[in-house]
Amino acid sequence: MRRIGLGAAAIVAASALVLTGCAGGDEGNEGSTAGGTIVTNGSEPQNPLIPTNTNETGGGKILDAIFAGLVYYDAEGAAHNDVAESIETEDSQTFTVTLREGLEFTNGEPVTSDSFIDAWNYGALLSNNQLSSYFFEDIEGFSWEEDSELTGLEKVSDTEFTITLKQPLSDFPQRLGYSAFYPLPASAFEDMEAFGESPVGNGPYMLASEDAWQHEERIDLVVNPDYDGPREPQNEGLEIVFYASQDAAYADLLGGNLDVLDAIPDASLATYQDDLGDRWVNQAAAIFQSFTIPERLAHFGGEEGELRRAAISMAIDREEITEVIFEGTRTPASDFTSPVIDGWTDSLEGAEVLEFNPEEAQALWAEADAISPWTGSFQIAYNADGGHQAWVDATTNSIKNTLGIDASGQPYPTFGEMRELVTTDQIQTAFRTGWQADYPGLYNFLGPLYATNAGSNDGDYSNPEFDALISEGATTTDPEEANALFQEAQEILLQDLPAIPLWYSNVNGGWSENVDNVEFGWNSVPLYYEITKG
Amino acid sequence: MARYILWRVLQAIPVLIGTTFLIYFMVFAMPGNPLLALFGDRTPNPALLERLEEQYHLNEPFLVQYWYYLSGIFQGDFGTSFTGEPTTEILARTFPVTIRLAVLALIIQGVLGILVGLVSGLRKGKFFDSSALAVSLLLISLPIFVIAFLAQYVFGIELGWARTTVGSGAPWADLILPAFVLASVSFAQIVRLTRASVIETKSLDFVRTAYGKGLGRNRVVPVHILRNSLIPVTTYLGTDFGVLLVGATVTEGIFNVPGVGRTLFQAILRGEGPTVVSFVTVMVLIYLVVNLVIDLLYAVLDPRIRYVK
């Protein structure tokens, strides 16, 4: 899970007043630095730059540039081999990985099977407290109880090793492009703290110097001359400037100090397409937004709950909210995943429950009232530090007006505060939920969130039928067949609505006149290596 | 004098201990688990969460956590952020930036404010005076982020006279625009303070005496009128310098200044106790020192004031 940066922009959101209606004039670009180096926005990494300890976008963007994993993802999210020569399996449980020969880290150490095996063992070891350790939990030997070796990783030779999983997982190779699976040089283990400050990788870029990471300011990356993989840089380097607010980054883009921006601030959503001419994107991203109504809440259990969830879902005018509140930068949801994921479809059986239908909503609500009359107020909890107020208010208003009940938002000051109440089941209202995919696969949107006792199953949903379909899909080797099973599982979700799907976030980005060939990846991060400048 | 200073310094010790304790308590009492926020929408495995809580001592009671912090300080360890960066390093890289910004802003508002206020006071009721009043009223009534965004848009984007945000290493040239924004609000206050003070002073007997002795304007205005009008302005400038030094969260955010305000705001959002407490402790220290300096300056401006204790 890559977390989207903290909403520091919230304080300055009112800036809309000021910047509304500004046209992008002819701006000078003398602020930009050396030709060929792409200046782009980022945010201060929240953890040391260790692949298995980075789970947010600020650090992830840097790691993806300086490391190369077994596979990488193209713009569509398809996985292609990078360091791997081949990844083969017959039963989706044991995988044989062959590495390309002669690859090196930027300090000259060779990239071998051990680079992967040792890095993954480091990441998985319980006492190393790595934030992304859960990526290894399917590998044989992994334990949440005690320190244990990943016995499923076996070295065959310097360029070949095997991975044995606890049970078959057809989408496992697809996961291997995520940063947690990057290799580490042996020198990293001598002093992991120093490594996290100045990492040595094997990717298309490398740190410009030992102290290239200037905290809260920037990190400078230059091209790694020895990288010969498929992501060959078409520019001379990357300067990632850390911004505390997206507004400042956007001002820099307009002011000519920034080449590529991957997040347009809320205040400028109405104007950025005019400001930037044709230098912008607004495309669906692998981010799913919803809210969850746990079954334990009064009036939301059993049949009554099922009726009320469906009624609430049909009482929300998603089209209008995405248009008015988000200026068309969200796409109304028609399932529980995302359109950028292979296998996505908008024609699931039962998807009409996600369409605005006041009459049907009122009818279902009345039906539920016949079982037990509605009392109290319907509330959606959200964290006030993430810019959620506008849509929560719009959504609860839509519910209020359609169903004629009292509905409102329930803000909590920080994300941490809300998550604590959610994870300890103390929260007594519906609450905001969302998911940004770790890797481009349908399963990632479903298994971790709705399977019985799954880690991020915040609503404590449980349906044996769904569980059966999901685990069958996960072990099916044929991707098409697997996706069909996942879609069947989603149709169960559409009946039960363990979360009420709202919309998919779009990636909104822009770039300056200095650069060309800007394309955004499936994970909303630009494919920096493709960008040309000057 | 020396005894007075010593007394003030001794006074500062209980104030410092008290504030760190209070701030630590407030950070501790902030609801929510900062570690959960690290995982985003994904719920961490309970085993991992427990281990992380142990690592950051978040599972201990308040007094134990405070003790860890205090005993760390006595060993020169002010704690680390979640990135593993020592808090002392964070302090060392953010405070110089903010101090430079504050000094610039102070010079701008001091020089311009006193100058405009002096002229206004001397020409009370004239055109310059009324237009200065109108401008200062406008500046006081505008929220600072409006001024900041306007300045950024007009001077940064449209005219291109300044960089829209502060660049790498926060060079002086980049800090000028944010410094003007920071100075704008206090500028208005200083104009008004100086003006009122000048009007009061210029009708006092000693000024008339000075003119009567045959002294010219060039001598009376700076030495007799201005100097005697500066006490309230100095107090204001002093406290304002304190305010500027502890960081301007909004302005630093808009201009992306890697200073104290921006960093502290992020640390509060992340719930990084040690960072927050260390920052606030240094801020309290700065306030104490600045206040002491102001008090001492009074004696310089007005020889009648003497300190005894």
- Residue A37 in 3-state DSSP? strand
Give the position of tokens 């701006």: A27
3-state secondary structure A317-335: CHHHHHHHCCCCCEEECCC
Between CA B62 and CA B64 the distance in angstroms is 5
Per-position DSSP letters for A471-482, written without gaps between them? HHHHH-SSHHHH
In tens digits, chain A (534 residues) has pLDDT values of 444 433 333 333 333 333 333 333 333 333 344 458 999 999 888 889 999 998 888 899 999 999 999 999 998 888 999 999 999 998 889 999 999 999 999 999 999 999 999 999 999 999 898 988 989 999 999 998 889 999 999 999 999 999 999 988 888 999 999 999 999 999 999 999 899 999 999 999 999 998 899 988 899 999 999 999 999 999 999 999 999 888 899 999 998 899 999 989 888 888 999 999 999 999 888 999 999 999 999 899 889 999 999 999 999 999 999 998 888 889 999 999 999 888 899 889 999 999 999 999 999 999 999 999 999 899 999 988 777 898 999 999 999 999 999 999 999 888 888 888 888 888 999 999 989 888 999 999 998 899 998 878 888 999 999 999 999 998 888 888 999 999 999 999 999 999 999 999 999 999 999 999 999 998 889 999 999 998
Residues with Cβ within 8 Å of A521's Cβ and at least 6 positions away in sequence, in order, are A73, A74, A75, A77, A527
How much is the pLDDT for A4? 45
Task: List domains and CATH numbers for chain A.
Answer: 37-243+512-533 (3.40.190.10), 287-506 (3.10.105.10)
B31 CB within 8 Å of a chain A CB: yes
Give the position of tokens 């719920």: B43
Are B45 and A249 an interchain contact pair (Cβ–Cβ within 8 Å)? no
Which residues in chain B are contacts of A197 at CB distance < 8 A?
Answer: 84
**Cβ within 8 Å of B, A 410-429:** 412-420, 423
CB atoms < 10 A from the CB of B63, how many? 11
Write out the two tokens for A502. Answer: 């709202």
How much is the pLDDT for A534? 80
B37 CB within 8 Å of a chain A CB: yes
Q: Are A506 and A272 in contact (CB under 8 A)?
A: no
How much is the pLDDT for A14? 33
**Cβ within 8 Å of A, B 72-101:** 82-85, 89-90, 93-94
Query: Which of A125, A127, A216 is the best residue to mutate to test the B interface, defined by the most B CB atoms within 10 Å of its own CB?
Result: A216
pTM (predicted TM-score): 0.83
Are B41 and A456 an interchain contact pair (Cβ–Cβ within 8 Å)? yes
Candidates A479, A454, A466, A444; CA nearest to A170 is A479
Between CA B119 and CA B102 the distance in angstroms is 25
How much is the pLDDT for A188? 95
CB-closest option in A28, A416, A434 to B41: A434
Distance from A515 to chain B by nearest Cα, in Å? Answer: 19
Q: Quick one: chain B helix, strand, coil %, rounded to 5?
A: 75, 0, 25
Write out the two tokens for A527. Answer: 């494919």
Q: Are B181 and B144 in contact (CB under 8 A)?
A: yes
B178 CB within 8 Å of a chain A CB: no
> What is the ipTM score, two decimals?
0.80
A532 CB within 8 Å of a chain B CB: no
Between CA A305 and CA A298 the distance in angstroms is 9
Between CA B242 and CA B109 the distance in angstroms is 14
Which residues in chain A are contacts of B42 at CB distance < 8 A?
Answer: 1, 55, 134, 448, 455-456
Between CA A397 and CA A454 the distance in angstroms is 32
How much is the pLDDT for B308? 60
- Angle made by CA atoms B99, B100, B101, in degrees to the nearest 5: 90
Task: List domains and CATH numbers for chain B.
Answer: 94-271 (1.10.3720.10)
**Cβ within 8 Å of A, B 125-154:** 145-146, 149-150, 152-153
Residue B243's φ and ψ, nearest 5 degrees, are -60, -45
Strands in A413-499 per DSSP E: 430-436
Residue A196's alpha-carbon distances to A49, A184, B203, in angstroms, are 4, 11, 68
Distance from A142 to chain B by nearest Cα, in Å? Answer: 13
Are B145 and A12 an interchain contact pair (Cβ–Cβ within 8 Å)? yes
Residue A35's alpha-carbon distances to A473, A529, B105, in angstroms, are 49, 15, 34
Are A216 and B52 an interchain contact pair (Cβ–Cβ within 8 Å)? no
Residues (pLDDT < 70) of chain B are: 247, 306-309
**Cβ within 8 Å of A, B 250-269:** 250, 252-256, 258, 262-263, 265-266, 269
Count A/B contacts: CB-CB distance under 8 Å: 205
| Axis-axis angle for helices B172-202, B127-141 (nearest 10) | 130
Residues with Cβ within 8 Å of A88's Cβ and at least 6 positions away in sequence, in order, are A95, A96, A98
Which residues in chain A are contacts of B252 at CB distance < 8 A?
Answer: 244
Between CA A375 and CA A10 the distance in angstroms is 34
Are B153 and A257 an interchain contact pair (Cβ–Cβ within 8 Å)? no
Q: Are A279 and A293 in contact (CB under 8 A)?
A: no
A192 CB within 8 Å of a chain B CB: no
What's the maximum distance between 2 C-alpha atoms anywhere in chain B? 87
Distance from B5 to chain A by nearest Cα, in Å? Answer: 38
